[in-house]
Structure 1
Amino acid sequence: MDGHVAQPRMSWRHFYVARLANAIERSHFRLCLVLVLLSLVCFLPGFTSLHPMDRDEPRYAQASKQMLEAGDFVDIRFQDEARHKKPIGIYWLQSASVAIGEALGVPEARTTIALYRVPSLLGAVATVLLTYWAALAFLGRRGAFLAAAFMATSIILMVEARLAKTDAALAACAVATMGGLARAYLSRGAGILPRRTLAFFWLGLAAGILIKGPLIPMFVGLAAAVLWWRERSARWLLTLRPIPGAVFTLLVVLPWFVAIAITSGGAFFSASVGHDMLGKVGTAQTYHWAPPGYYLLAFFATFWPGAILAAIAVPFVWKHRRDEPVTFALAWIVPAWLIFELVPTKLPHYVMPLYPAIAIVTVMAISRHFVGPQRPLARLATILIPFIPVGLTIGLAVAAWTLDQTMPYRALPVLALSSVAALYAWWLFVREQVLKSIWASFLSAALLSIGVFGLGQLDLRSLKLSPRLAEVAHNLSCHKRLVATLGYREPSLVFLIGTNLEMLETGAEASDFLQGGGCRLVFVESRFEDDFRAANERLGRKPALSTRVSGFNINSGRRLDIGAYAAGL
């Protein structure tokens, strides 16, 4: 009897779930609303509590803050140093976000890192929604939704959504332009493109140039060149209306490039092109060097949970490489990927603008029932789905215990649920329930975001050196204070303390700084304290030790012990 009772319950449940799914799928707006909610669940935990992440994020944020302080929205500076590496776009967006925050009454808005991250958050959400739009040129609504959901739950986009940098906004621009290019190619001969497609393409191109220079033109140019060669014709590009589009792009980007050329005397172009871009192509920048194949290896972590399914889909892509949708996706992915692999300087987010195309072809393979446990080694390979959350759970626990002799108790239950959901996703996959497996992996990703970014990082106190040092400075009993640092020179400290933070080189300079009059505080890293004490003893000075702050500097890979010495309190 129990069996007869249970079956109708399952049927009714499936019936209502199917009705709800069908109701959502009938509307682009509803599907996009679900994608926005999924994105926010994955992107918002820890958005305000995560400290400024050295070194790039606080450099961008500090430069934007100085624009507001100086009222100069042409030149880009970090303290007194010209920051001529990237164009102005992200700095304008961050400055606008902070200005709106100040207008709305956000306390200490200019040192609130979350306000500088808002453009990245919006860029990440836009990347998801634009992936849905771009995928509609290849897939139906359900397939486009899955491709966009793979982006929303990918680890790399979760990270970039929380960092005040260029990469999430750049990814949105890339998907907008490539979505427009896809429609031009796949609908060639069908007449003119819709105005929305043209707007997305040219706005994405212009904004992408202002955000990160030549990368968006590179993506578009490489894909167009490959397709031009394949078709032995470029006439299909005319549907993008290149002449008025190019005029529009120049009108958007030229004013600032002319202004910065005049302001910097041409130094911006020599620094951004000669040092930053060519330095990555050559051997000038070796700090982030990695061998070819780095991005392929990193892909299995950065595009989790979709990465292993994408790997299983590779034979499908090869088999259907001459099909026009697959051909376009390959033109989007392969040339740019090869260039990134050949360039010596490598960082995992560089290839992120190519991930939407990978998501699209993966869903193509899934929709044709190519991806499943019947593929060679698929049952074994998909153990990577639970491997990532299980590995992060163990890694976070080990890090918390090693650094702070504690456990991330708040995060562990959520991380355990994430691991269980990922194991369930793997179990569903091997039982040939691929779509259910994908939904379970999305749940695992959402829980992982909450566990790692929302809760786990709160317990890694040793990694929060700059916020703790800034707290020492802000807790001084005097209002007008001067602060300097010796040995510890992370950009996050400049952002949190203030633009006038002095960077000292020797113990004698630190000793002289404290004697300069008024309320003063100097941070001295332990490696420099003998020099600092010797300088004070020679001059008969006895600076007061206010407190000590110890922790782990993830950039240098060293434990640090920093003394805070005060004078004039």
Structure 2
Amino acid sequence: MRRFSAEQLTRFVERSHARLCAVLVLLALACFLPGFTTLQPMDRDEPRYAQASKQMLETHDFVDVRFQDEARYKKPVGIYWMQSATVAIGEALGIPEARTTIALYRLPSLFGAIATVLLTYWAALAFFGRRGAFLTAALMATCVILMVEARLAKTDAMLAACSVAVMGGLARAYLSRGAGVLPRRALLIFWTGFALGVLIKGPLVLMFAGLAAAVLSYQERSTRWLLTLRPWLGLAFTLAIVMPWFVAIAIRSGTAFYSQAVGHDMLGKVGTAQKYHWAPPGFYLLSFFATFWPGAILAAIAVPFAWIHRKEEPVAFALAWIVPSWLVFEAVPTKLPHYTLPLLPAVAIVTVMAISRHFVGPHRPAAKLATVLIPFIPVGLTIGLSAANWSFDGTLPYRGLPFMTVASVIALYAWWLFIRNRMLSCLWAGFLAAICLSIGVFGFAQLDLRSLKISPTLAEAVQGLPSGKVRVATLGYREPSLVFLVGTKLEMVDNGAEASAFLKQSDCSIVFVDKRFEVDFRAENERNGIIPALSTRVSGFNINSGKRVDIAIYSVDSGCP
């Protein structure tokens, strides 16, 4: 009975599409929700997006995207509209401090991550029956990188949803060519995903679909199969959605948006402008074993299967989805782990395809040894987070340790199941390990890493003070999360003289001074005849600079009520 428990569970789940989707949503929520509301704004990209969305609500300008006084012309407006809408709804529902509640800005990413899982199931139905599609989507729901992006108020989870919608429609057009027509639902999903993808992150959706279509059309020596997507009607639909804002921003900014978005942000990634995220070719191949856990090593074992069966139409489509765009990402100097997220549904499809044909198993060369990576990731995170917590705060993540330990044990059991060639049970054990790891890492361990919560601690210093009267500046510590939590009017000063002059200008002011500038700041105060009060000190570790920080909070509050 025990041996067939995973089989029985799968049979129970796959009795209907509705039941499968409900289980997928529950699985996704179990992986995405722990820590969703308690994780601090994660510098630097997340609070930049959130702050720009907050300023839209403050100014009622939903065309121009700005971070404080600086134009933020890196991406189109889609995600900012979504974040602004969720915060406005939160305010209407009476949520206190809605505009500085980062969880509200994260809701579009959560919805995008759940949509990615469900759309992966829909896309995979073009390749499998219900069971294969479910396992494919479950691999996406439990993969580490989607767990991360579901919790961050950025574009990437929603972009992944749009991309898999487009590629699922493209797969139906390719695999059913000869039928002559696609269902209206498939066309609607395809073109809605395409239009929203353009409005969220510009040309990336076009790159994924375009490169895949080009490779497949070259193999077919024809592009006629693309006509089933009704391209002229679809393009008209896309333009109707995206053109109003693109025209509006051109009127507002002239050529500024296009020169910055294309010239600096997109082409800068190809050149050298984005130097801070440089990595050598092969970066995504190495990071894949962490980002796609727990399915990564199974996917690696499936690589020979993909090569052997590369001429089969389903495999050919999956490879056209993965390989061209992956090579582009590897060739571009600017690299971040989440860039390849929209390609992972295709990786999951190939993996499940290989498993279903009994290609993946302990009989493969070195597979028994290689699959030690299944427990290695949770074990490594347990040890690494414990070491970091001890180094930064002199304690251990006691609340998260039980869950991370359980995740490690279950992952070890998944390895044992693989060795016994019980692949379905191995997959289910991996899913359960991912849930426990999410609870342990995101739900609890991050709460104990207090040294990383510098901006929330600094923001507490101004809570309760009248926002219309108190003025706040920061010297040396300039993370976007501080702007988001303290307020749009937070002033960034460059030296001790400016910080001292800032205090002198108001009788109700606070300045955060990094220890590196403190001697100069005090000297300037003596020259200006100012004696500010040292309220407290905040020490911690800035993960962006990779350095410890010690920040003093000085205040002049004679004019505060």
Quick one: distance in 1 between partners of 2:407 and 2:380? 11
SS in 2 for 1:322: coil
Residue 133 to residue 477, structure 1, CA distance change in 2 (3 Å)? closer
Q: Please tell me whether residue 414 in structure 1 is matched to residue 388 in structure 2.
A: no
Task: Supply the AA of the counterpart residue of 2:391.
Answer: T
User: Shift of the alpha carbon at 1:480?
Assistant: 3.0
Partner of 1:429: 418
Counterpart of 1:55 (choices 44, 50, 55) is: 44
Counterpart of 2:225 (choices 219, 236, 245) is: 236
Partner of 1:246: 235
Q: Which range is displaced more, 159-168 or 17-26? A: 17-26
Partner of 1:500: 489
Partner of 2:30: 41
User: Shift of the alpha carbon at 1:537?
Assistant: 1.4
Counterpart of 1:261 (choices 247, 250, 263) is: 250
SS in 2 for 1:522: strand
Residue 444 to residue 375, structure 1, CA distance change in 2 (3 Å)? same
Quick one: distance in 1 between partners of 2:547 and 2:177? 57
Quick one: distance in 1 between partners of 2:296 and 2:393? 33
Quick one: distance in 2 between partners of 1:14 and 1:279? 54
Partner of 2:537: 548
Q: What TM-score comes out, normalization by structure 1 length?
A: 0.97
Q: What TM-score comes out, normalization by structure 2 length?
A: 0.98
Quick one: distance in 2 between partners of 1:81 and 1:87? 16
Quick one: distance in 1 between partners of 2:412 and 2:296? 16
SS in 1 for 2:402: helix
2:302, 2:354 within 8 Å by CA — same for their partners in 1?
A: yes
2:500, 2:528 within 8 Å by CA — same for their partners in 1?
A: no
Partner of 1:491: 480
Counterpart of 2:265 (choices 263, 268, 276) is: 276
Q: Please tell me whether residue 139 in structure 1 is matched to residue 128 in structure 2.
A: yes
Task: Supply the AA of the counterpart residue of 2:109.
Answer: S
Runs of 4+ in structure 1 deviating by more than 6 angstroms, as ranges, are none
**Deviation string for 1:17-38 (max 9, x for gaps)?**
7666434312101000000000
Quick one: distance in 1 between partners of 2:9 and 2:320? 37
Percent of aligned pairs with the same residue? 74
1:411, 1:456 within 8 Å by CA — same for their partners in 2?
A: yes
User: Shift of the alpha carbon at 1:481?
Assistant: 1.2
Partner of 2:461: 472
1:524, 1:563 within 8 Å by CA — same for their partners in 2?
A: yes
Following superposition of structure 1 onto structure 2, how do residues 104-143 of structure 1 map, counting pairs within 5 Å? 104-143=93-132
**Deviation string for 1:369-401 (max 9, x for gaps)?**
000000000000000000000000000100000
Quick one: distance in 2 between partners of 1:451 and 1:498? 32
**Deviation string for 1:10-63 (max 9, x for gaps)?**
37x958x76664343121010000000000000000000000000000000000
Quick one: distance in 2 between partners of 1:397 and 1:365? 37
User: Shift of the alpha carbon at 1:177?
Assistant: 0.2
SS in 2 for 1:448: helix
2:169, 2:189 within 8 Å by CA — same for their partners in 1?
A: yes
Partner of 2:186: 197
Quick one: distance in 2 between partners of 1:454 and 1:280? 34
Task: Supply the AA of the counterpart residue of 2:117.
Answer: V
Partner of 2:21: 32
SS in 2 for 1:474: coil
Quick one: distance in 2 between partners of 1:19 and 1:428? 16
Task: Supply the AA of the counterpart residue of 1:278.
Answer: L
Quick one: distance in 1 between partners of 2:452 and 2:11? 47
Quick one: distance in 2 between partners of 1:250 and 1:44? 35
**Deviation string for 1:520-561 (max 9, x for gaps)?**
100000000011011011222221101110000000001000
Quick one: distance in 1 between partners of 2:452 and 2:141? 27
**Deviation string for 1:122-171 (max 9, x for gaps)?**
00000000000000000110000000000000000000000000000000
Quick one: distance in 1 between partners of 2:233 and 2:310? 33
2:389, 2:448 within 8 Å by CA — same for their partners in 1?
A: yes
Quick one: distance in 1 between partners of 2:449 and 2:10? 40
Task: Supply the AA of the counterpart residue of 1:159.
Answer: V
Quick one: distance in 1 between partners of 2:485 and 2:387? 29
Q: Please tell me whether residue 379 in structure 1 is matched to residue 364 in structure 2.
A: no
Counterpart of 2:281 (choices 284, 289, 292) is: 292
Following superposition of structure 1 onto structure 2, how do residues 142-221 of structure 1 map, counting pairs within 5 Å? 142-221=131-210
1:48, 1:114 within 8 Å by CA — same for their partners in 2?
A: yes
Partner of 1:4: none
Q: Please tell me whether residue 75 in structure 1 is matched to residue 60 in structure 2.
A: no
Quick one: distance in 1 between partners of 2:67 and 2:506? 26
Residue 550 to residue 20, structure 1, CA distance change in 2 (3 Å)? closer
Task: Supply the AA of the counterpart residue of 2:336.
Answer: L
The number of equivalent residue pairs is: 558
Q: Which range is displaced more, 130-139 or 538-547? A: 538-547
Q: Which range is displaced more, 426-435 or 28-37? A: 426-435
2:10, 2:131 within 8 Å by CA — same for their partners in 1?
A: no
SS in 2 for 1:473: coil
2:163, 2:197 within 8 Å by CA — same for their partners in 1?
A: yes
Quick one: distance in 2 between partners of 1:315 and 1:506? 59
1:151, 1:157 within 8 Å by CA — same for their partners in 2?
A: yes
Task: Supply the AA of the counterpart residue of 2:488.
Answer: T
Quick one: distance in 1 between partners of 2:529 and 2:4? 82
CA RMSD of superposed structures (Å): 1.2
Partner of 1:558: 547
Quick one: distance in 2 between partners of 1:568 and 1:346? 46
1:156, 1:303 within 8 Å by CA — same for their partners in 2?
A: yes
SS in 2 for 1:559: strand
1:205, 1:249 within 8 Å by CA — same for their partners in 2?
A: yes
SS in 1 for 2:539: strand
Partner of 1:449: 438
Task: Supply the AA of the counterpart residue of 2:347.
Answer: I
Partner of 2:338: 349
Counterpart of 2:500 (choices 503, 508, 511) is: 511
Partner of 1:3: none
User: Shift of the alpha carbon at 1:567?
Assistant: 0.4
2:514, 2:551 within 8 Å by CA — same for their partners in 1?
A: yes
Quick one: distance in 2 between partners of 1:285 and 1:462? 28
1:478, 1:519 within 8 Å by CA — same for their partners in 2?
A: no
1:485, 1:524 within 8 Å by CA — same for their partners in 2?
A: yes
Q: What are structure 2's unaligned runs of at least 5 residues?
A: none
Quick one: distance in 2 between partners of 1:387 and 1:306? 13
SS in 2 for 1:410: coil
Quick one: distance in 1 between partners of 2:356 and 2:459? 53
